[in-house]
């Protein structure tokens, strides 16, 4: 099939590449000329493991191209996929300005029958709005479908090539066969439903996963007080197939471009029909508070933070991505600086993206994890990158001013900590080392 994908962010670019990988002819469009130029030179604007090899293979096979010419791309395609951003407005509601702009541009470009599919996460009823906007611009026949995207950053290509399920929302049953056929090379778990339900499935799924995380984080806070171990609790809970083992990792809470934005948007979607989504409001509040646990633990171990030196391991909101949108690190770094700490920051790939968002004279940018720990009074691990898990922790005692490690993602085992000579604090697990008596820097 000939496909145009509008928006070459995480979703548009990865979907475009994966549809091409399955033999379709795809043209990916973006209004950002710099992105398009980079892509035409086979340079990915996002960090995603394996992406450049997939891009190169499909471009060389003549199945994938990049352009800023939306009109041409739409005219050459039977299926137009909208994958532009839907960021939060200050109210928490989804900002639909990019969606509406693209719908109008697609409408003006139409030269014959098209299917217009929305992959962006949009509030219930948005696809109907898209239909109206397109219809105002063209007399050409077209159909609207909702195909929400469930990929995760860091494993986006594998998630797209091997999804757990694909949801297709449509109101013209004649399209079912062609859309199921298009997606059947990815999975046989294809659920066809109506458009409004498809839109809601996306928000409900993200809200449920966020709820699991806030739930286990609250359990971890109680575990700390009663002497239980949240990792053991999560394993025991997860053995019940009704609960499942995934998304029960306690830590400093969820970040990223999706959970924070989509939970707030769903609260607003409910509010717009006079429904107060109490449970989800609590999930958001719990998540906000959880980030500060790291700072509480630092205060517990160091007393006060003014004039201390703190090493930070990990800035991206999760491993295997350079995305720092709504990363817990942003709030934690700002809070530590406001408390008078000097910081030594290291992340394997996200330092440039972080620095574009936040920089300060109190920050020293470090080339590796050990450099960030050198002469520090404490190190805080904020992202569970594999390279941090593989560090020889016994080196820290020789490097650090005070041997304190705060593990915000529970990555280290008892065996790794034992014998390392550190004072180790994690989340919801009994402390495996004695509490530290701070030395105050003059």
Ligand X SMILES: O=c1ccn([C@@H]2O[C@H](COP(=O)(O)OP(=O)(O)O[C@H]3O[C@H](CO)[C@@H](O)[C@H](O)[C@H]3O)[C@@H](O)[C@H]2O)c(=O)[nH]1
What are the residue numbers of the active site? 258
Which of ligand X, ligand NAD, none interacts with 211 (beta carbon under 5 to 8 A by kind)?
none
Contact between 186 and ligand X by CB under 6 A: the answer reads no
| 3-state secondary structure labels for all residues of 336-396 | HHHCCCEEEEECCCCHHHHHHHCCCCCEEECCCHHHHHCCCCEEEECCCCHHHHCCCHHHH
Contact between 256 and ligand X by CB under 6 A: the answer reads yes
* Least distance CB 261 / ligand NAD (angstroms): 6
Contact between 151 and ligand X by CB under 6 A: the answer reads yes
Pick from 339, 338, 399: nearest CA to 368: 399
Pick from 35, 23, 46, 143: nearest CA to 352: 46
- Measured from the CB atom, the residue of 35 and 423 that comes closer to ligand NAD is 35
* Least distance CB 251 / ligand X (angstroms): 5
Chain residues binding ligand NAD by CB under 6 A are: 6-12, 29-32, 35, 83-86, 98, 101-102, 120-121, 149, 151, 153, 257-258
Count of CB atoms situated within 10 Å of the CB of 421: 14
- Measured from the CB atom, the residue of 153 and 331 that comes closer to ligand X is 153
Structure token digits, residue 3: 């496909």
Give the one residue of 21, 30, 48, 153 binding ligand X; rule: CB under 6 A.
153
Total number of residues that touch ligand X (CB under 6 A)? 21
With residue 5 as reference, give the H or E element that holds it. strand 2-6
Q: What distance, in Å, lies between the first and last C-alpha atoms of the chain?
A: 69
Pick from 372, 383, 310: nearest CA to 341: 310
Task: Show contacts with ligand X in window 268-327 (CB under 6 A).
Answer: 317-318
Q: What value does the CA radius of gyration of the chain take, rounded to a whole number of Å?
A: 24
The residue of the chain with the least Cβ separation from ligand NAD equals 9
C-alpha–C-alpha distance, residues 347 and 353, integer Å: 10
Which of ligand NAD, ligand X, none interacts with 213 (beta carbon under 5 to 8 A by kind)?
ligand X
* Least distance CB 94 / ligand NAD (angstroms): 8
- Measured from the CB atom, the residue of 208 and 398 that comes closer to ligand X is 208
The residue of the chain with the least Cβ separation from ligand X equals 258
């Amino acid at each position: 099939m000939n496909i145009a994908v509008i928006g070459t962010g995480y979703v548009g670019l990865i979907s475009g590449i994966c549809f091409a990988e399955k033999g379709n002819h795809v043209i990916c469009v973006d209004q950002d000329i710099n992105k398009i130029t980079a892509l035409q030179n086979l340079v990915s604007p996002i960090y995603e493991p394996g992406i450049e090899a997939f891009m190169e293979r499909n471009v060389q096979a003549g199945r994938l191209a990049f352009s800023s010419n939306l009109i041409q791309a739409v005219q050459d395609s039977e299926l137009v996929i909208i994958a532009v951003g839907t960021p939060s407005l200050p109210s928490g509601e989804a900002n639909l300005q990019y969606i509406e702009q693209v719908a109008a541009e697609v409408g003006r470009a139409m030269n014959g029958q098209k299917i217009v599919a929305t992959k962006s996460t949009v509030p219930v009823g948005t696809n109907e709005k898209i239909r109206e906007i397109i219809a105002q611009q063209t007399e050409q026949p077209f159909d609207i479908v909702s195909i929400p995207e469930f990929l995760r950053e860091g494993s986006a290509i594998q998630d797209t090539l091997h999804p757990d399920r694909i949801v297709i929302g449509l109101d013209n049953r004649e399209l079912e066969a062609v859309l199921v056929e298009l997606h059947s090379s990815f999975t046989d778990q294809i659920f066809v439903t109506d458009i409004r339900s498809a839109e809601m499935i996306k928000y409900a799924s993200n809200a449920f996963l966020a709820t699991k995380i806030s739930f286990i984080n609250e359990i971890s806070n109680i575990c700390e007080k009663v002497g239980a171990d949240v990792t053991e609790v999560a394993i025991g809970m997860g053995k019940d197939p009704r609960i499942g083992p995934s998304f029960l990792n306690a830590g400093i809470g969820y970040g990223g471009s999706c959970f924070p934005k989509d939970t707030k948007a769903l609260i607003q979607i409910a509010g717009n029909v006079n429904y107060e989504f109490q449970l989800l409001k609590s999930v958001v509040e719990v998540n906000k508070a959880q980030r500060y646990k790291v700072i509480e633990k630092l205060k517990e171990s160091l007393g006060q933070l003014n004039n201390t030196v703190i090493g930070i391991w990990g800035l991206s909101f999760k491993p295997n991505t350079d995305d720092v949108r709504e990363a817990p690190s942003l709030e934690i770094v700002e809070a530590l600086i406001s408390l008078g700490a000097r910081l030594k920051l290291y992340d394997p790939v996200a330092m440039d993206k972080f620095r574009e968002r936040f920089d300060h004279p109190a920050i020293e940018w470090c080339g590796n994890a050990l450099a960030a720990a050198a002469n520090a009074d404490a190190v805080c691990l904020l992202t569970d990158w594999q390279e941090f898990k593989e560090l020889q922790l016994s080196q820290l005692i020789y490097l650090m001013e005070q041997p304190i490690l705060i593990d915000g993602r529970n990555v280290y085992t008892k065996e790794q900590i034992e014998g390392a000579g550190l004072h180790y604090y994690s989340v919801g697990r009994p402390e495996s080392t004695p509490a530290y008596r701070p030395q105050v820097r003059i």
